[in-house]
Chain A
């Protein structure tokens, strides 16, 4: 694999580097959350409350200037985590670790030896990344049973810690990341913070007055829903997700966040408990594109422990400021205009295309002819790898082991029956069916061929001069949990991954950027798909778009004012937060 920047040169001619400040969230908007004072990024000492709503870049600047200390920031985030416990975003809160890290970060700042932009920044990590000394569950009884504590850090986790980031905890997900709602984990579903936003509540009040306020809470999307909720609810500034078919971009779209799936091979998978090795990529969830770029800059690069990472050195990610899009060519894949697409998303999609066009970009319709085969092809490849990857969970070395000891085989069977949920077992069963000698050619090999065709579709389009593809991320905005569970996991995954998983099949970078609120007051995101290893260019375009659309900040003060009642309700729910 090559990190070929020459292919991305279309942007090089006219970009200039400007100041590093993010332009997405005006200071005034931030204050809607906790604070009534708006001192601005270059003002005097800021209150920690103000800080929480800010972007990673802004808070990093504040830390460097001493407006706030890492410990203050950490404590504030911990208190929000406690307040928003009912969201079920975290499986494990690593309070002690975070405070200790904050203390060390503080010492460094005092000496003036900050490790970089992430020093002292609270982050969260999806609970399918190995964390040394911190329990890692994949939201499954299989690992939770005996409390699996990895003896090593995933490379991406280690890189964040090496930069001084504070690890707030491990976030909730669908069991082994198999799902698109963050509803199918052993710790229960994750609730979308937007369910409690002022924007959504006001719209709902207009429509109905009698419904139970909390029973209609929304799903976050998934499977990285815990990470999305954690960032969206201001408990941290960035979170790691994983993205196999859309698991980072989907919840990002539903939670009003930027969700980045880097190019396959740009970021190490070592330590990420795999779903589909050939498609998994560590994902990044942040409040703005700039923040995602900072985190990607830290994570990207060759890892000797992951042979599929690029060999070439990666340059630091500094996003040039794009002011002129007239030389850009935006592709609109016609196959993505499906009947299931909600009219609102559809109209925003076309609005976005118009925006580019009106600013001088060339916007053309393109064809990815094999798109319709993508989902079924993904199903075969995904379940096959799942069948293989899950084989190691046999109750012998780690994790859950049943009490049956008549024979090793009986122990395996019962352990796996008890340890995995229906979704995981179903995929293992399908996958093993596809891998059987008699089926291998007809299913697995065919699916691989189709995968090649799908990847070639993208190559053809990009070779024709298209710089980036613009597509919806999801069919619609987030739906209520009660609505979501009317369909089973498999149906949901097939539906919800429709726009996202082709990028995984082709290994391309893709980012979901929130565009606007729906009529219901819920976020809708659009997706940009770029050329392989042109992540920086992709993000540059995404940032331009982000700046144009001025997506509103989530207004959660109502929730916070009212949190005691929410907590009361929460006691009735069966979901418990493991700490």
Chain B
């Protein structure tokens, strides 16, 4: 059944401590509940630092928010966690349903090896202790999109426990201050996904899709507020948040709602809520009313999952039948924190820039490809990639992979700039042309648009002379000692050169002429 899911649990208390120690102190804001001063790091959810800090005002009683996340991440695998049916995004409803997925009587779960490997790798990446023996459990509840009446998960002894994720975020005026934080990971468990219910209120029908490859990420956030030093507050659970942005919004909203509720003499109910992304608020969920007793029970059809390391690997074991933790550790790709550190060391990059490069899928690779083909300074390249390219992408809501400008084209453009063949304003113009994607190289565009810098010193001197002749008043100002007047002359010269002359060269010529 079910798309294979990894569930990362950072239940309230444990996560809370990490958050409170850090910066989750949350003060009651202005009477209108202003939340504008909050900042948060953007990255994958595991790195999401839920910072909700506001400057405390004098005389106000402080509130602290406690946030724990249950993160459901779909494993990228060809088939489902417990069945051979495939996983495809946006497949027609119920087209990828095996007999097991439909819970036909007599069918049994068979664990997908690839999913176990992915879970182990995730556990290693999050500094977890990998349990060499883990168990599967049944979690029972009746719901139309849960055809077996239970979900197979890892409640008692999950595959990985006690991890941590060190994350950094940029704070301060220009986001120039990098702060490191640690989030604790309680456990990682393999879990089958439930189906998808589509409610048709008009016909009062519910349609069920058992494909279950619903989306790549789903987060349930447990939130409570309390006064520091006092016991933790009653928590609510906001379910089914499917993007980092909505997660952040929902948490912000829920914290503020709970504070408002408590300050107005109300109480917080231990309830599940959903987030209405259109209204930007959380509302109580009606369909799972009351406290559920999930009646957990060991899954009798799956023997304990045993993992090995190089030491414990049984002699002569069939590699297809055993999973070696050490072998997976070797396959672990470089982790983002290491990559960021390398960028800072190798290119002298600002830490905040290293974050942006890694947080955007494909951007780092783009950057590295440009670096391979250009003589331009790393700082220059960073600036072009992060400001110009990313700006254009964001404006048109495109992914890096969809960029009309290739790394090679940008590298060529930066080379032209580097050897002063064009001015930086001309370079911007060339970039805009490249963005239109008409199949021309930067060199072609420069030559067609006559954007190359004037290299003819004599001609430039003549132009400078002509400008000085034509603007005696400005020349007088310079001579009188107005330091800004020369800039006006430079501007005038650039205008007549159609911006093709290097301003520093113009300045040199003008100064020489003015001094004579």
Contact = CB atoms under 8 A, between A and B. Distances in A.
B138 A388 contact: yes
B178 to A, nearest CB: 45
Nearest to A448: B298
A308 B301 CA distance: 6
Interface string A384-410: 110110111110111000000000110
Interface stretch (B140-148, B169-177, B215-223): B140-148
Interface string A543-569: 000000000000000000000000000
Given A394-B142, A435-B296, A270 B149 contact: no
Nearest to A390: B149
B104 interface: yes
Chain A interface main SS type: loop
Given A304-B110, A308-B303, A397-B147, A392 B105 contact: yes
Contacts of B105: 130, 138, 143, 148, 150, 273-274, 392-393, 398
Interface in B297-339: 297, 300-303, 321
A409 B104 CA distance: 21
B149 A391 contact: yes
Contact of B99 (A152, A272, A276): A152
B142 A409 contact: yes
A408 B206 contact: yes
Contacts of B147: 392, 394, 396-397
B279 to A, nearest CB: 27
Contact of B321 (A154, A273, A311, A409): A311
B300 A305 contact: no
Contacts of B150: 388, 391
A397 B147 CA distance: 7
Given A397-B102, A435-B140, A269 B297 contact: no
Interface string B91-115: 0000000010011111111110000
B140 A391 contact: yes
A481 interface: no
Interface in A94-147: 129-130, 138, 143
Contacts of A409: 142
A436 interface: yes
Contacts of B99: 151-152
| B142, B206, B296: residue with the most chain A Cβ atoms closer than 10 Å | B142
Contacts of B300: 276-278, 308, 385
A436 B295 contact: yes
Contacts of A152: 99, 104
Contacts of B208: 396
A440 interface: yes
B103 A388 contact: no
Interface in A430-479: 432, 435-437, 440, 444
B106 A387 contact: no
B144 A440 contact: no
A415 to B, nearest CB: 11
A270 B108 CA distance: 6
Interface string B383-427: 000000000000000000000000000000000000000000000
A311 B303 CA distance: 12
Contacts of A520: none
A44 to B, nearest CB: 45
A342 B99 CA distance: 47
A384 B297 contact: yes
B1 to A, nearest CB: 11
Interface string A31-46: 0000000000000000
Interface in B107-130: 107-111
A270 B111 contact: no
B106 A270 contact: yes
Contacts of A397: 102-104, 147
Interface string B248-276: 00000000000000000000000000000
B294 to A, nearest CB: 8
A307 B208 CA distance: 28
Contacts of A419: none
B208 to A, nearest CB: 8
Interface string A302-332: 0011111001000000000000000000000
| A276, A305, A308, A412: residue with the most chain B Cβ atoms closer than 10 Å | A305
A392 B210 CA distance: 14
Contacts of B302: 307-308
A487 B465 CA distance: 121
Contact of A306 (B108, B111, B148): B108
B60 interface: no
B106 A277 contact: no
A256 interface: no
B306 to A, nearest CB: 12
Given A278-B300, A388-B140, A305 B108 contact: yes
A305 B110 contact: yes
Given A408-B144, A435-B296, A277 B104 contact: no
Nearest to B305: A307
A273 B106 CA distance: 4
Contact of A277 (B148, B149, B296, B301): B301
Contacts of B296: 435, 440
A444 B110 CA distance: 25
A271 B111 contact: no
B415 to A, nearest CB: 58
Interface in B140-171: 140, 142, 144, 147-150
B111 A274 contact: no
B293 A437 contact: yes
Interface string A253-278: 00000000000000001111110111
A107 B228 CA distance: 85
A287 to B, nearest CB: 28
Nearest to A407: B204
A396 B144 contact: yes
B106 A307 contact: no
Interface in B187-230: 206, 208
B295 A432 contact: yes
A273 B107 CA distance: 8
Contacts of A408: 144, 206
A274 B296 CA distance: 18
A392 B144 CA distance: 10
Nearest to B208: A396
Contacts of A435: 140, 295-297
A397 B206 CA distance: 13
A387 B301 contact: no
Contacts of A277: 300-301
Interface string B275-297: 00000000000000000010111
A80 B503 CA distance: 109
Contacts of A391: 140, 142, 148-150
Contacts of B206: 408
A515 B6 CA distance: 56
Contacts of A307: 108-111, 301-303
A476 B103 CA distance: 40
Contacts of A412: 142
Contacts of B144: 396, 408
B154 to A, nearest CB: 15
Given A397-B147, A432-B295, A435-B297, 11 more contacts: A151-B104, A305-B108, A306-B301, A307-B111, A307-B302, A308-B303, A387-B140, A394-B142, A396-B208, A435-B140, A440-B296
Interface of B: 99, 102-111, 138, 140, 142, 144, 147-150, 206, 208, 293, 295-297, 300-303, 321
Interface of A: 1, 129-130, 138, 143, 148, 150-152, 154, 269-274, 276-278, 304-308, 311, 384-385, 387-388, 390-394, 396-398, 408-409, 412, 432, 435-437, 440, 444
Closest 8 CB pairs of A and B: A391-B149, A435-B295, A277-B300, A278-B300, A273-B105, A271-B106, A130-B106, A392-B103
12 contacts: A1-B303, A150-B105, A152-B104, A269-B108, A270-B106, A270-B108, A277-B300, A278-B300, A392-B105, A392-B147, A409-B142, A435-B295
